[in-house]
Amino acid sequence: MAGVAAVQAKLLRDAGHDVDEIALSQAGAAWSWPAKAVAIPFRLAAYLPAINRLRRGGYDVVHIHWLAHGIAGVLSGQPFFAQAHGSDLHLNMKNPVYRWVTRTVLQKSKLVFYVTPNLRAYMPGLESKLRYLPNPVDADRLAPGSFPTEARKALIFARLDPIKGVDRIFAAVERLSKVIEVTALDWGPLARAYRQSYSRWVRFVPPVAHAEVGEFLQQFDIVIGQMRQGILSLSEIEALAAGRPVITGIDWTLYNEDPPPVIAADGPEGIIRAAEQLKSDPEAINRLARAGPDWVRRNHGFAHHLALLEAAYFG
């Protein structure tokens, strides 16, 4: 189960639904190939209690997180909803074993939820069963105590991982540090190398517990998010909910209906230009900061998420 599942279960219970959460084995999930292949039969065997429970449970709705886990739904013979989170599509479709599993789950599922708008492109031909279900965010918990009025401190709020496009961000940090104080999370596979290369211009801090994210973000005036995927990940969404102006790489065509109040940048020059713009325009900082929480409530708030779930399950 993904953490999102626990939030969904609580939302549904609070709305009066009877909900069970069934954990599925993660054995070998973090291993590399070919060791991961050796673990697959053992993980399938570990699924058997859950599969039997699905068969006997008399559930009106079965909702399975991560497409690879969806094989439990296929083997149960019961109708099920599947939820794709990202790597279970764009990474797993590159592997022949997981590609077969993923395609089987996509074909057999009653409906497929996807959490970021770019994932739809990985499921051609299945448009009739796809539903965009943005990740739920506790906007009230993250609500800002105050809004920034000037750009003094910036946070690079992204895992230091190539998939986040952090190379494009750190190519700007020497010049950026002349405009604004820069902090980054000491987190991800590139963390050690980046500390060694960029600590003259960037302060590295350990990541905080998720419950402390809102308070942590209040220390900064602007946030710099991912630069490669074209979407808002949870980091950028939580920064908006916390009332922090966000600079990020975004594909506007994925957000036609309700564009998020962010500043688009796709490389070092754009990042520096955006920081300079905010530095010189306090009114823009305040406008973006105040627009962020409202946008998050409309698109990722708990009430909105529950309404989407109930419409998909029972509509």
On whether both 150 and 283 belong to a single domain, the answer is yes
On whether both 96 and 163 belong to a single domain, the answer is no
pLDDT above 70 covers a percentage of the chain that reads 96
On whether both 182 and 265 belong to a single domain, the answer is yes
How many structural domains is the chain composed of?
A: 2
pLDDT of residue 3: 84
Residue 306 belongs to some domain of the structure: no
Contact criterion met (CB below 8 Å) for 232 and 250: yes
Choosing from 74, 99, 133, the residue where a domain stops is 133
The confidence band for 97, taking pLDDT boundaries of 50, 70 and 90, is: confident
Q: Report the C-alpha gap between 213 and 151 in whole angstroms.
A: 20
Residue 315 belongs to some domain of the structure: no
Residue 202 belongs to some domain of the structure: yes
Which tokens go with 116?
Answer: 């970021």
Choosing from 103, 133, 163, the residue where a domain stops is 133
Residue 306's alpha-carbon distances to 2, 5, 14, 210, in angstroms, are 17, 12, 10, 22
On whether both 101 and 210 belong to a single domain, the answer is no
Residue 304 belongs to some domain of the structure: no
Which whole number is the average pLDDT over 1-29?
88
Which tokens go with 290?
Answer: 């105040």
On whether both 217 and 254 belong to a single domain, the answer is yes
Write down the pTM of the prediction: 0.92
On whether both 144 and 127 belong to a single domain, the answer is no
The confidence band for 1, taking pLDDT boundaries of 50, 70 and 90, is: very low
On whether both 20 and 95 belong to a single domain, the answer is yes
On whether both 92 and 158 belong to a single domain, the answer is no
Residue 60, domain CATH: 3.40.50.2000
On whether both 196 and 127 belong to a single domain, the answer is no
| Higher-confidence position of 40 and 114 | 114
On whether both 179 and 224 belong to a single domain, the answer is yes
Choosing from 69, 104, 133, the residue where a domain stops is 133
Q: What is the pLDDT of residues 127-172, one digit of tens each?
A: 999 999 999 999 999 999 999 999 999 999 999 999 999 999 999 9
Which tokens go with 47?
Answer: 């699924």
Q: Report the C-alpha gap between 155 and 277 in whole angstroms.
A: 16
pLDDT of residue 18: 97
Sheet containing strand 111-114, edge to edge, reads 63-65, 81-84, 111-114, 130-132
Q: Report the C-alpha gap between 247 and 250 in whole angstroms.
A: 9
Q: Domain containing 287: what range?
A: 139-299
Q: What is the pLDDT of residues 189-241, one digit of tens each?
A: 999 999 999 999 999 999 999 999 999 999 999 999 999 999 999 999 999 99
